[in-house]
Structure 1
Amino acid sequence: MVVKAELEKLGFKPLLVELGEVTLAKNITPEDKIRISFGLNHFGFELLEDKKTQIAEQVKTAIVNLVHYTREPLKINLSAYLSDQLKQEYAGLSGIFSEVENQTIEKYFIAQKIEKAKEMLTYGELTLSEIAYQLNYSSVAHLSAQFKKVTGITPSAYKAGSADSRKTLDEV
C-alpha cells in the first residue's frame, strides 16, 4: 500500500503492485526512475532493476510469508512451494539466490524458522514440542540442535533470558 500510495503521489498510475513487482500504466524515463527511487528510499524500499536481485528478493519474501504469516504447520515441500509461488524451476531459483545472497535457500529458510521459534518461545504460549511440530521439525531434538547451531544457545537457555537476541526479519 505504501509503494502504491507513493507512486500515485509522484504522479504515476500503478496497474499492479505485488511481491516486489510494480506494473505502471506507461513507460518511465531515467529521470522518473530517480524520482521513484528517491520516493521509495524514504520509506525503506529500494528500486531493484537487476533481475537476479529481484528474484532473490521474491524468494525471501515468499519464505518470510510462509514461515511467519502462515497459520498452519509448515508441512510443505519448500522447493515445490517456491516453484509454485514464483512460477520458475527450483534449480534456477536456487542458483540465483545463492549467487545474490551468498547463502543457500535452505540456510535462509532455517534462519527464518529459528527466528519464528524465538518468537514463539518469547510468547511462551506453546511447548517446545508444539513449536517443533508447527515448524515441521521431526523432533524436539532436531529443533534444539538446529536452534543451537544457529544461535549458539539452546531453546531453553533462550527462553530463560536471552529474549533480546531476536532479529528483525530483514536482518535474518
Structure 2
Amino acid sequence: MKVFIKFDFTQFCSRILDEKLNELNIKYRMLNFGEIEFLESVPADKLKAFDAILKEYGIEKIENQKVILVQKIKDTLIDMVLNANEGQNVKSSVYLSDKLGHSYGYLSNLFSEVTYTSIENFIILQRIEYAKSLITNTDLSLTEIAFKLQYSSVAHLSTQFKNTTGITPTTFQRIIAKRRTLKSN
C-alpha cells in the first residue's frame, strides 16, 4: 500500500525548535518563521548544543545579515508559490516589498548578489517543483495545475516546464504513471 503525505514545513520546524529550546531550558520567543529572539543571555555551551541539535535535522543558524534576508526572500517566495490564490495574480515584486519592507530593487539586487540567480528564475524553479509535486501526488489535470500556479495557459506552463526540466509535463506524467505501474507489479 502506498500513502502520500503532505508536509507543513513551517509547523514541523517550529515544533522542533520549540521542543529543543525547551529541552535546553532556553527562554525565547518566535518572531517570524525562521526567526527567534532569545529572551536572556544564552551560555556558549547551550548555543553549541543548540547548533548541534539543529544540524541533526538539517537546520542551520544563519548569522550573516545578507544571507538572513536572502533566506527570508526565499521563504516568502516559496510561501507565495505554495499559497497562491487561484485566479488572483499578485506581482512578486509587490508581494516581496510588502512582506519584507524593502524596495524590490534592493531585494532583487541582494538576491542576485548572494545566490547568483534572479528572483524571477527562483520563482520559476519553485513553480516547476510545485507542478512536479502536483503531477506526482494529485489527480489534477495540467489545466488545473496551470490555473493553480497562475500560469496564463497550459502552453506557458509546458514551455517553462520543458525549459527547466528538459521534458514536457505530459512526458513527466507518463514517467510517473509508468513508475507507479512498475512498483505495483
TM-score normalised by L of structure 1: 0.85
Task: Report the equivalent of 1:168.
Answer: none
Structure with more relative contact order (C-alpha pairs < 8 Å, separation 6 or more): 1
Give yes or no for contact 2:111–2:119 (8 Å, CA) kept in 1: yes
Structure 1 distance, partners of 2:177, 2:32, is 33
Distance apart, 1:46 and its partner CA: 0.4
Shift of the 30–94 alpha-carbon distance from structure 1 to 2, 3 Å rule, reads farther
Distance apart, 1:128 and its partner CA: 1.4
Structure 2 distance, partners of 1:30, 1:118, is 43
Task: Report the equivalent of 1:170.
Answer: none
Task: Report the equivalent of 2:42.
Answer: 28
Task: Report the equivalent of 1:156.
Answer: 170
Select 1:47's aligned residue among 61, 78, 85: 61
Which of these two proteins has the greater Rg computed from alpha carbons? 2
Once the two structures are superposed, residues 87-107 of structure 1 have per-residue CA deviations (whole angstroms, 9 ceiling, x without a partner) of: 222111112211222211111
Q: What letter is aligned with 1:94?
A: S
The percentage of counterpart residues that share the same residue type is: 35
Give the 3-state SS of the residue equivalent to 1:23 in structure 2: strand
Give the 3-state SS of the residue equivalent to 1:16 in structure 2: strand
Distance apart, 1:29 and its partner CA: 4.8
Structure 2 distance, partners of 1:127, 1:39, is 42
Q: How does 1:53-92 map to 2 (within 5 A)?
A: 53-68=67-82, 70=83, 72-73=85-86, 75-92=89-106
TM-score normalised by L of structure 2: 0.79
What is the root-mean-square deviation in Å for CA atoms of aligned residues? 2.0
Listed as ranges, the gaps of 5+ residues in structure 1 are 165-172
Select 1:132's aligned residue among 140, 146, 149: 146
Give yes or no for contact 2:84–2:149 (8 Å, CA) kept in 1: no
Give yes or no for contact 1:56–1:96 (8 Å, CA) kept in 2: yes
Give yes or no for contact 1:14–1:23 (8 Å, CA) kept in 2: yes
Structure 2 distance, partners of 1:114, 1:58, is 20
Q: What letter is aligned with 2:135?
A: L
Distance apart, 1:16 and its partner CA: 2.1
Listed as ranges, the gaps of 5+ residues in structure 2 are 1-14, 179-185
Select 2:126's aligned residue among 101, 112, 122: 112
Select 2:111's aligned residue among 91, 97, 111: 97
Distance apart, 1:76 and its partner CA: 1.2
